[in-house]
Amino acid sequence: MDGEVALYTEDLGVRYYIQRGVVKALDDVNFRLYKASLTGVVGESGCGKSTLGRAIIRVLPPNGEITSGRIIYNGVNIVELSEEEMRKLRGREIGLVMQDPMTSLDPLMSVKDHLLETILEHIEVSRDEALKMAEEALSSVGLSRELLKSYPHQLSGGQRQRVAIALATVLKPKILIADEPTTALDVIVQKKVLDLIEDLMRELSLTVMLITHDIALAAERADYIGVMYAGHLVEYGRVDQVIEDPQHPYTQLLLKSVPDIENISMVQSIPGLPPDLVNPPPGCRFHPRCPYKMDICIREEPKMIEVGEGHYVACLLRRR
């Protein structure tokens, strides 16, 4: 029933090194992206969503490192590729729209400079051909060629986000990782940007990983959802499985925290905060906030188990 897997991770672990110690940002993450479908990655701030997206194309910050596991794409383990091989893969096979495009765009470079640099760095075409590709990329994200001359600060938030998407898709990658592409935008522009991503998906048969703290948005747009908590993937499945039949207490609470326009007073925020990942809680990392905590949850780390076809959860309550 499920499609072909485009990319998957196996027991992926990432660490950040800071003065205070080691941040256990990802542990044992078994995540997958199905071809030509949209997978939402959700969870509160600091749960490791961006880290997962950046690890997949190996653009972690300098103090970050993949310390365990594998990332398999087309039968190749991305973790083992040389920097040279990675440069070929980035943009061409897998594109990334970074969280906050203002910081990922160079304020001293025009939109045209950005696009031409990306194109000419990766493929051998003439400047004229590259310019044509740049114009096409802009028009595919609904922007006029007039904007080629603009600098990032001259663009609106929505335009910047579109430019970032044009940059990530100009080489027609197979996979697009979009990290909070709509968070800073008003709901109308948000909808347009998400519609645009869906259009590109159909046009290019793109596989999309949509990172968002907004589970309601993921429920609306995604085919599959992965829920992250404190550096662990705690639930994964088709959108109907995760949204209609959430198995992890954290997913259940996230869903209850969604504001409902008719019932705004019913919103329940999740008590407490995600833990400090330098010293994560032992056992299940969610136990300090879990309404169903058992003694064993403090001692034993839950592993992912399959609870329905393609529906996985890491919770000791679901242990058989």
Ligand X SMILES: Nc1ncnc2c1ncn2[C@@H]1O[C@H](COP(=O)(O)OP(=O)(O)OP(=O)(O)O)[C@@H](O)[C@H]1O
Which one among 1, 19, 45, 264 touches ligand X, defined by CB under 6 A?
45
The binder of ligand X chosen from 6, 12, 23, 255 (CB under 6 A): 23
Contact pick of 12, 13, 16, 155 for ligand X (by CB under 6 A): 16
Q: Which residues, 207 to 226, sit near ligand X by CB under 6 A?
A: 213
- # chain residues binding Mg ion, by CB under 5 A: 2
Distance CA(174)–CA(198), nearest Å, equals: 14
What are 35's two structure tokens? 């071809």
Which one among 37, 39, 50, 104 touches Mg ion, defined by CB under 5 A? 50
Q: Backbone phi, then psi, for 224, in 5-degree steps?
A: -130, 155
- Closest to ligand X by CB, 93 vs 276, is 276
Shortest distance, position 98 Cβ to ligand X, whole Å? 11
Query: What is the footprint of ligand X within residues 66-105 (CB under 6 A)?
Result: 99
Q: Residue 285 Cβ, how far from ligand X at the closest point, in Å?
A: 11
Distance CA(35)–CA(32), nearest Å, equals 10
Helix (H, G, I), strand (E, B) or coil at 78: helix
Q: What residue is closest to Mg ion based on CB?
A: 50
Cα radius of gyration rounded to whole Å, the chain: 20
Strand 38-42 with 207-211, pairing: parallel
Question: Contact region for ligand X (CB under 6 A) — 45-53, 129-137, 155-163, 164-172?
Answer: 45-53
Q: Report in angstroms the alpha-carbon separations of 56 from 65, 191, 200, 286.
A: 12, 26, 21, 25
The CA distances from residue 210 to 9, 67, 106, 119, 227, in Å, are 16, 24, 23, 24, 12
How far apart (Å, rounded) are the C-alpha atoms in residues 192 and 209?
Answer: 17
- State the number of binding residues for ligand X (CB under 6 A): 18
Q: Is 16 or 31 the residue whose CB approaches ligand X more closely?
A: 16
Over the window 81 to 120, marking each residue x when it contacts Mg ion by CB under 5 A and - when it does not, the resulting string is: ------------------x---------------------
Choose the contact partner of 39 out of Mg ion, ligand X, none; CB within 5 to 8 A by kind.
none
Question: Which helix (H) or strand (E) segment is 130 a member of?
Answer: helix 127-140
Stretch that binds ligand X, among 48-56, 158-166, 194-202, 244-252 (CB under 6 A): 48-56
Cα gap 309→306, rounded to integer Å: 7
Instruction: Rule CB under 6 A: say whether 43 interacts with ligand X.
Output: yes
Determine what percent of the chain falls in helix, strand and coil, rounding each to the nearest 5: 40, 25, 40
Residue 50 found at the interface with ligand X (CB under 6 A): yes
Residue 275 found at the interface with ligand X (CB under 6 A): no
Minimum distance from residue 56 beta carbon to ligand X (Å): 12
Q: What is the contact surface with Mg ion in residues (CB under 5 A)?
A: 50, 99
